[in-house]
Amino acid sequence: MKSIKFDYMEYEIQLIGDSSYSLNSTDNKIRYKNEIGELKEFHPVTKIGIIVNKNEIEVNSAILFGYGGASGLHQNSSMLENDKIFICIGDSVMCLSLPDLKLIWQTKLDNATCFEIFKFLDDFIIHGELSISRINPDGKVKWNFYGSDIFTEEFKIIDNNIYATDFNHDLFKIDINTGKEIKT
């Protein structure tokens, strides 16, 4: 199981890619205190565990469920800010309070997968497989940009522009304030 750890105030927060987790099973390797996410008739594609520890003692834990395409854990797949954690999971981004892990909001931002989240001014930029989005801290979409193919290649933010390369190696330059493509 892949995991990432963060130190946040007096807490250690661990994210765990727990793909083997089964709902209501007694055979799970980790027993989480809460299950978070909409449960649908088919199984969630992405399952991410969160464990919050203080002085090496578990304060809270939860397993998150995501649908759409599978999300992985890496440096830019989550972010901590203002007693909240923002996590790309499947086709959505979830925001949970810390340390109690209460779901504040969940916003679907891509028809497939949300890969990365970046802070920009007071907002967030979400790099998805099919779209790039800008959302506010309440999860409200300010704009979405869709390319001609999936955004699986290079993605970077420089000044007020987003540079995203798709599967066909087409480079898109997007104004970060408006979400409009800048033709060069």
- Domain assignment of residue 110, yes or no: yes
For the chain, what percent of residues have pLDDT higher than 90? 85
Is the full-model pTM beyond 0.85? yes
Q: What is the pLDDT of residue 44?
A: 85
Q: What is the mean pLDDT of residues 172-180?
A: 97
With a cut of 70, say whether residue 20 has pLDDT above it: yes
d(CA 92, CA 41): 18
Q: What is the average pLDDT score of the chain?
A: 94
Residue 184 lies in a domain: no
Banded pLDDT at 66 (limits 50, 70, 90): very high
Contact 86, 117 (CB under 8 A): yes
Where in the sequence is the domain holding 84, given as residue range(s)?
3-175
Rounded average pLDDT over 132-144: 98
The dihedral formed by the CA atoms of 165, 153, 80 and 123, expressed in degrees to the nearest 10 = 10
CATH code: domain of residue 105: 2.40.128.630
Is 181 a member of any domain?
Answer: no
CA–CA dist 99, 60 (Å, integer): 7
Is the predicted pLDDT of residue 3 greater than 70, yes or no? yes
Residue 9 lies in a domain: yes
Q: What is the CA radius of gyration of the chain?
A: 17
Number of independent structural domains in the chain: 1
Residue type for position 180: K
- What's residue 130's pLDDT? 95
Look at residue 171 and tell me if it is in a domain.
yes
